[in-house]
Structure formats: structure tokens, C-alpha cells
Structure 1
Amino acid sequence: MIRPSIIARSARTAALCLPAPGAHYWLCEKTAWRLSSPDDARDLQQGVADTVVTLLHGLHPARRYRFEAEGFQPVSFRTTPCAGLIDAADFGLLPDIAPADLDGAGANAAALAEAIAAVPSGGTLYLGAGQWTSLPVGLRGQRTLHLAEGAILQAPSERTGWPILPAHDHSGRMLGSWEGLPAACFAAPIHAVAVEKLVIEGRGILDGSGDRGDWWRWPKETRDGARRPRGLHLISCRDVTLLGFTIRNAPSWTIHPQGCERLTAAGLSIIAPPDSPNTDGFNPESCRDVTITGVRFSVGDDCIAVKAGKRGPNGEDDHLMETRNVRVSHCLMERGHGGLVIGSEMSGGVHDVCVEDCEMIGTDRGLRLKTRRGRGGSITNIAMRRVRLDGVETALSVNAHYHCDADGHDPWVQSREPAAVSSATPVIDGVTIEDVEIRRLAHAAGAFLGLPEAPVRNVSIRRLKIVSRDPEAIATPPIMADHVRPMRHEGLVVEQAEIDCDDPALISAASVSLSFE
């Protein structure tokens, strides 16, 4: 029998993985489970699991539990202690404040700040059921924010009085950012800076109110001296755990860990409308040791975008840090520009990223690597294993001519002639694809476009299966680079890339680029 694993646990919540063979996000069959405690015979829960990553709520601190599920070995665990439970409602929090009521939102922000200050180290701030509108609040480390079922913590729709994070703090560390560069930005509705051992958990909802204000109407602009806020912004934090909650309608990127270490996200729901600009789901930037598991995405841009900062227009690089060891598993990407994306802000280097046992439905691309001349840095050791793609237009995309930024279409970026190699030349080396299944293929199973001066190296593809093709697909360029020809129902299309495929018949004889004659 298969033994479940404990992904993460807090005083009142636990996330378990039920790794049934062949299961991605959903279990192949629903599984009845029972949770008991040898410490208290009255503490008994029963339920039915339909997802591989299962969240257990309503637990008690510092208590032993035994989890039993049909077809799995029993597993025991102990919840963590809690040094005290503080109810935010005891601090004058006002319910049902209208999103446009800035006075009420400000009063609630002050009440929440007072409540957060009252939570002892190792304690929990409890936000009960109700709709709570608040200006942005900063969280403290060594504490838990518990969002009860029915709790909605929402940002106001207006930005008057909204705090702004400067580009740097007094020590020069990057605080505010925008697309990989230091920049003043509005503080996220929930944010934390340089904290350790933070937990955000529960069945409740964080709502960024991006759909209510004007945030989505100026996606690339600066207003009032700042860029748009994220939904949840974690800056230079360590040992962060995110469990079970829903986060929606972020003004820009939804969850943005920046310069963080040891972060686990399990069982979240991340939601934004399909036409909302740059509402990426989860963007770890310059982070180490990140686990994203059992998360359901439906967003307006990339579901997960792994980043490592961007070299400045004059070569500025003192803000760059690498991203290393990102593990994505048992996630469901139902819509988005890409399922698992790396770049294009990758100048600090992105290494050791693995996506396994996931399902991507209706995303534009599945695994997507994007960079361009001027970025520098390297992308190494990237893997995709046991992933099912359904209705994904281009399953695999590796593009070193990505036409981002104001000069992205300039000849020096898009030329297919070799350029001089320098510190601004990006490198892609080491991509492993195994046991990937593609259904309703539209454009290409894979499009690989490297630089002539730095070809894509060491791509290994094993057991890639094209089950079906979309009969209504229209020939379209499969990657965002200039001079790329439209494609429909093609296999692996390769230019300036080294591909080792166990089925050579999948590799097209045609080039990615249009003829330059």
C-alpha cells in the first residue's frame, strides 16, 4: 500500500499528499478517509478526498493525529503548538465596508495592525467569517494568519492613501519591484518583509479588488509614483507556509515571493479573469527551495512564472539573485498564457526546476522558457515529467528571441546571425521531458529557438505522446519572436537547439524561422 506524505502542518491545518499511481491533480477515484486523535477520542473527522493534495482543517494545536484512507497506509502526525489565539474582531474590525469607503478601509487596516501586534510569537491571528475591507497590512514572522471559512479580506477599490514600497530599503535591499527591476510599487494588500516562520492558512479568501478599481486599465504604467501592487508580496522571507486559502483578483501578479527561502504552498486556489493583465498566478523570483503542490490556477497570464530578476538597461545587476530548487507537483492549470514558465526575467540564473504529475488544460503553452539577448544569466536543469496537456496550443516552448521590452523587435535582438558572446548572452542548458501526453494539439508539440551564438543545449525528450490534434486549430506562430512561421499540428520544430528524442519521427525537418531571403 502507498504511504501518504505530510507536505506541511501548522497548529490547525495539515496538507497531505495521496500519491496514487497515474493521478495528477485529481485522484483517479475518490477516497474515503478518517482522522482520529489518540489524545482525544472525541476529535474525529471523516470525509472523501478527490484531490491528490488533501487539506485537513479544524485541527487542534499540539495534538497527535492518525490519518487513514482507503487504499493507503495510515500515517500519523502532530500539529504544532500555538502560543495564543487572537480574534481580529476584538479590535474593532468593521464588517461589510464598501470597497470605495477609504475611511472604513483605513480604520480596518489600523485595527488589523493592532491585532497583529497583539499576537504573541508562535500565536495565531484569527479572521472570522464576514467581508472585511482593509487597506494593505504587513504581517509579522513567527505567527499565523488564519482565514476562517466564509472570511473575505478584500482591498479597497480606490488607491488614495494606499502605502507605497520604495525600490530599496535603507540597506539597499530591493523592496518594490516591477518585472525584475527595482521600482517603487504600491504595497500588496497582504505583504511581509524579512520575516521568518510565517503561516497563512484556512478556507477563506484574499481578494485584491483588481476588478473593482482601475488597476487593470494601466498595466504597464506608473501612477502616483508607483507600479501596481501584487496580491500577496513576500520579500526576503524565510520558512513561509501557505495552506488552503483562495486568492483572487490581484491588481498584478497574484503571489510574488521575492528573495525568499524555504517556501511551501499547498492546496491553494488562484483565480483571475482571463482578460486581466499580468495577473500571473505564482511568481517565485530570486528564491530558493520553493514547493508548489496541489494548487489550482485559472488566471489572466502565466500560471507559474519562475524568475530571477532582469539586468538593467545600462547593465545594472546588483539586485540580481539566482532562483534554485523549485518543485511543482499535482497542480491544475486550467487557463493561462503558460503552465510552468521560466523568464523572461532570468538574469540572475534559474536552476533546478521540476514540474511533475500536473495537468494543464487550455493554457497557451505548457512548459515555456523565454529569454533574449541582453538578459545574460543561465537556465539549467529544467524537467517536466508525467504531465498531461489538453488543449494546450504549444506544449513545449523554448525561445531565446523573446520580443519583450521596448527594444525587443530591434534587429540586434531578433537577428538570426551570430552575435558576440558577452555577459549579456543568455544560456539555456539542460531540459528533460519525460512521459508527457498531449491532447488536442493546435500549433506544435515543441518549438525550440536558440541563439546562433548560444544554442540551446542538452534537451532530452523521452516518451512524448501526441494523442490527438485540434481539428479547428488555425496556423499561428507558436512562440513570441519575430520572423517565426505559422504552424499547425506540427511535432518538434528546432532551430539552433540540440534535441535528443527517442522518437526521431517527431522532429520536423522544417525550421522555426521564416526565410530571410
Structure 2
Amino acid sequence: MELSPKSRCYQIIAIVSSILILELLSLRVQGSSQVEYSISYPAINCRKHSAVLTDFGGVGDGKTSNTKAFNSAIANLSQFASDGGAQLIVPPGKWLTGSFNLTSHFTLYIHKEAVLLASQDEAEWPHLAVLPSYGRGRDGPGGRFSSLIFGTNLTDVVVTGGNGTIDGQGAPWWIKYRSNQLNITRPYLIEIMYSNHVQISNVTLINSPSWNVHPIYCSNVLVQGLTILAPIDSPNTDGINPDSCTNTIIEDCYIVSGDDCIAVKSGWDQYGTKFGMPTKHLIIRRLTCISPDSATIALGSEMSGGIKDVRAEDITAIDTQSGVRIKTAIGRGGYVKDIYVRRMTMKTMKYVFWMTGSYGSHPDPNFDPKALPEITGINYRDMVAENVTYSARLDGIQNDPFTGICISNVTIGLTEKPQKLQWNCTDVQGFTSRVTPPACNLLPEKKDNTDCFYPKDKLPIENIELKTCFMTK
């Protein structure tokens, strides 16, 4: 029987509607490669080629290991490095994985509804040799586990997302560490080595087994818009640790940590001295830190390769042990110099200023006891603190004083039961200006309203202009 034009029209509408419904249902299938994406994000470079993890067999059920899928995807996409590069999208879902390696001219994009779950199977974490500037693993004398997201000798690599999550599932690692069950060092969440033009941005990192973000032996590094969360009693869950890096910026990050929120490093004792690669030209700005047992920004204690030209501004510390802490010891050698910090707000602190010249902790007994660190040119200005127990503890080294300390325009409000000795100073030299409560005699007050120096020039990393990148699939 022939359909009337009106009936035929209804039939066509019904068929089209059925097709649309089936397509919508297919979009809801977890881990399906049929999901459509329209994504935009800022990056140092955009990519010509794109793929989704499900194109390589990824399964986002939170149970199936995706280590092979990640490695297969990145190996496949590496062929496009010389042809405009490639980006890999981690779509919505829970993606269990062990360690995997990045490639050059590559972007890993983690969707806002995606969670990377770090595998708790040690077999999925390859072993790496010790770092040459450390001479041993930090958790044990042996090597170390590869980080969850790892890369070495790369150029132009981006780890970013729509604030998707990387969950290190670190609790079992913390238990092993505390019970001395580890002979090698726990994995980090993101580690990039020997690389140039690196971007790590707009992701949330939680429950790392140890450090969260560790660029080491790198140059031109942008770390931006990270949220890093760990229990405040979790061991060594440092937020971001630039290590022997040049021309780095860390900005707009929020960190809750069981250790230092930012820890600036450059190698350990004789190994760091021999490797000889300083961290220099570093900017830290618009950082919020919560860490009751550690520092907002720590310089050291592994600083034997040197730390120079660090600029920190617009920093907020809440319920944190100390503001900026310098950590070093006899045997370190190296230097920490030309440090500039301004516009810092602190609430509920044990110490505002803390310098430690007797941190100890050596990789082995072969360090040089005559290797004395040089700590000089330390400038702090324009700070406000409240509910503070101690204003400062500044302990230099006998016959090796910390020099060139300048502190200006600082107002410290004390807790209801503050310590009687607010400024505890030994083996330090410098001056203060407009500081309340008044500093120790080793840092006398200048009466000419002198402000500590803060550089006005821009570092090269500040001139990078991010591109807006797109992917539709």
C-alpha cells in the first residue's frame, strides 16, 4: 500500500529520530571511540594530528589496565613529530594505567571528566637509574620507579586538560615508605627530564605516591593552573619541584601538601656539585599553599648545583609551617643567591622566615666537609602575616654566615600565645626596614625607609604567547 505524502514524511522523521537516538546511546557507552569532542585549550604549540585513547583499545572502566593503550597510542603518534605533531585525548572515564612515556611535539590532553588512576601493581612501574645529580634514590640507595607520566630528551611537550584528574592512589606507597619496605624511590606523578619547551597545565593531581611534578634538567618550562591535593600527613608529597632547570614559570596554582608546596632543587652534595647544573631564572607567582608541616617555598636542601635568580610574588600561605625556607648544610657546597620575594600574605604560621644551615641528610659519607654553601642576596618585601608563633628563625653556618639579607615593609601579627623570642638569629648578616615586630640585632633597622630590591626586567619565559588549540572528533 502506497503511503501518503504526510505518512511518508512521518516515516522519514521516525527513521531519522531512531538514528539520532542510536547515536546518542552510542555516545554514552563508556570508553567508546564514537564519542564526539569539541575541545579548545591554550598551549605553547597546537598539533596537526589527533587521536583518542579509545582508538588504541583504551577502556575507561577503572579496572582494565590501559598501560599498553597509552604506550601504543604515543608510539603511533610519535611518527607525526615532524609533520605538525600530534595530540592524544583522554576522554571521560576512569583510566587505570601504569607508567608511560611521552614523545616530542606532542600534547596529552586529559578531559575534564577523565580520571587517570595510577596502577598499584609494581610490575607496571619500570625501574630507572639514579639521577646523576643525586647519586642515589631519595627513598633508598637503589634506583627509582619511573613516574606515571614520564619523558626524557623531549622538545615541545604538553600535558594539559580541562582540569581532568590524575589520581596517584598513593596510600599503599606511603605505607611501604613508612614501614621501610622500599629499596628504591617511589614514583612521581609527572617527571620530565633533559627537555626543552615543556608545558604542564590545567590538571588536578591528587594522592601522589611522592612528589607531584618534577621537571629536571629542563629549560623553558611553563607550569600553570595546577590543583595539587594530598593529605597533610602524607610523606614527601611535594607539589612542584623545579630541579636544575633554567627559565621556568610556575603560576596560578593551588597546593595542599604533606611537604613543601614548591621545592627548588639542583642536586645533592658531591653529585650535584659534579653535575653542575643550577636552577636559575625561576618565577613563582599567584600561588596558594596549605602545608602545616612544611614550607610554602623551599630552596634546597639539595642545592649543590646552585640556585640563582628566583622571583616569587603574590603568594598566599594558609596554615603552613613557614613562608620561604632556605635549607642547606655543611657538605652541600653550591649557592642560593639573588632571591626576590614580594607581596606575600600568610595566615596561621609557625615561622614567617626560616633559614637552616644544619639540615644534614647526605646521600652517603663521601661528601666534602669543606664544601660550604654560599647563601647571599636574599630579599623579602611587602608581606603581611597573622596568627604567627615565631617571626623568624635564621640559622647560618659558623664561619660561613648567610649574607646580604634584606627584609622590608613586613607586618607580622602574633598568635595569642607567641614565643617570647620572636627573632632567633645566628650567623646571618643584613638589614631590615619597617619590620614589625623588630628584627634581631644581626639585622639592624635602616631608618631611610629602604625597600628591598625586586627586579623590573622580564625573563624570557614571560614572553611566551600561548596559542588556542582545537580538536573536534
Is the structural similarity TM-score above 0.5?
Answer: yes
* Partners of 2:305 and 2:141 in 1: CA distance: 14
Contact 1:351 1:381 in 2 (8 A): yes
Of 138, 144, 158, 1:185 maps to: 144
Shift of 1:331: 0.8
Call closer, same or farther: CA 1:316–1:243 in 2, change over 3 Å: closer
Structure 1 partner of 2:453: none
Deviations 1:267-321 (A, max 9, x none): 1101111111011111111111110000000010000000010124xx7843342
1:221-236 equivalent positions in 2, closer than 5 A: 221=180, 223=182, 226-236=184-194
Q: CA deviation at 1:499?
A: 2.4
Query: Tell me, what secondary structure is at the counterpart of 1:140?
Result: coil
- Measured against aligned partners, the alpha-carbon deviations of 1:37-89 in whole angstroms (never above 9, x if no partner) come to xxxxxxxxxxxxxxxxxxxx97658xxxxxxxxxxxxxxx9985421110111
Q: Per the alignment, do residues 388 and 277 of structure 1 end up closer, same or farther by CA in structure 2, a change over 3 Å counting?
A: same
Structure 1 residues 407 and 400: alpha-carbon distance in aligned structure 2, compared to 1, 3 A threshold: farther
The match for 1:86 is: 51
Q: Let me know the Cα RMSD of the aligned residues.
A: 2.9
Read off the aligned partner of 1:348 and give its amino acid letter.
G
1:158 CA displacement: 2.7
1:374 to 321, 325, 331: 331
Which structure has more relative contact order (CA 8 Å, sep 6+)? It is 2
Determine if the alignment matches structure 1 residue 142 to structure 2 residue 94. Answer: no
1:162 aligns with 2:162: no
Q: Percent identity, aligned pairs only? A: 27
Output one character per residue of 1:361-402: Cα deviation in whole Å (capped at 9) or x when no partner: 111010000111111111101111001011111011111122
1:111 to 64, 69, 79: 69
Q: Shift in Å at residue 405 of structure 1?
A: 4.5
Q: How far apart are the structure 2 equivalents of 1:429 and 1:79?
A: 35
Alignment of 1:414-453 (within 5 A): 422=370, 424-442=371-389, 444-453=390-399
User: How many pairs align?
Assistant: 398
Secondary structure at the aligned position of 1:389 is classed as strand
Asked whether 1:286 is paired with 2:286, we answer no
Secondary structure in structure 1 of the residue aligned to 2:73: helix
Aligned to 1:499: 430
Q: So what's the TM-score if we normalise by structure 1? A: 0.71
The structure-2 alpha-carbon separation of the partners of 1:510 and 1:471, relative to structure 1 and needing over 3 Å to count, comes to farther
Cα separation, 2, equivalents of 1:266 and 1:383: 20
Report deviation, 1:346: 0.6
Distance 2:320 2:415 in 1: 14
CA-CA distance at 1:96 after TM superposition? 2.0
Amino acid at match of 1:327: I
Say if 1:390 and 1:358 are closer, same or farther in 2 by CA, change over 3 A: same
Q: Deviations over 1:181-202 (max 9, x none)?
A: 9951011111111111101111
Higher helix share: 2
Aligned position for 1:356? 313
Give the structure-2-normalised TM-score.
0.78
**CA deviation after TM superposition for structure 1 residue 222, in Å:** 6.6
Asked whether the equivalents of residues 243 and 279 of structure 2 are also in contact (C-alpha less than 8 Å), the reply is yes
Q: After superposition, where does 1:24-63 map in structure 2 within 5 Å?
A: 60=40
Query: What is the Cα deviation at residue 246 of structure 1?
Result: 0.5
Note if 1:194 corresponds to 2:153.
Answer: yes
Contact 2:331/2:369, CA 8 A, preserved across alignment: no
Gaps of 5+ in 2: 1-36, 444-473
How far, CA to CA, are the matches of 1:95 and 1:430 in structure 2?
51
Structure 1, unpaired ranges of 5+: 1-56, 62-76, 99-103, 414-419, 474-487, 512-517
- Structure-2 separation of matches of 1:427 and 1:452: 12
Contact kept in structure 1, 2:44 and 2:199, CA below 8 Å? no
Q: Note if contact 2:134-2:363 (Cα within 8 Å) is conserved in structure 1.
A: no
Match of 2:280 among 320, 324, 336: 324
Equivalent in the alignment of 2:170: 210
| 1:421, distance to aligned residue in structure 2 (A) | 8.7
Question: d(CA) in 2 for partners of 1:79 and 1:407?
Answer: 41
Alignment-mate amino acid for residue 252 of structure 1: S
Separation in 1, partners of 2:236, 2:337:
25
Check conservation: 1:186, 1:227, Cα contact below 8 A.
yes
Contact 2:272 2:304 in 1 (8 A): no
1:470 to 383, 404, 415: 415
How far 1:490 sits from its partner (Å)?
4.5
Whole-angstrom distance in 1 between the partners of 2:72 and 2:212? 26
Partner of 2:211: 253
CA distance in 1, matches of 2:185, 2:369: 34
Q: Which is higher, the Rg of structure 1 or of structure 2?
A: 2
The answer to whether the 8 Å contact 1:350/1:379 transfers is: yes
CA contact (8 A) 2:45 2:156 kept: no
Q: Give me the whole-angstrom Cα distance separating, in 1, the residues matched to 2:50 and 2:407.
A: 51
Distance (whole Å) between structure 1 residues aligned to residue 334 and residue 43 of structure 2: 43
Q: Is the 8 A contact 2:138 2:185 kept in 1?
A: no
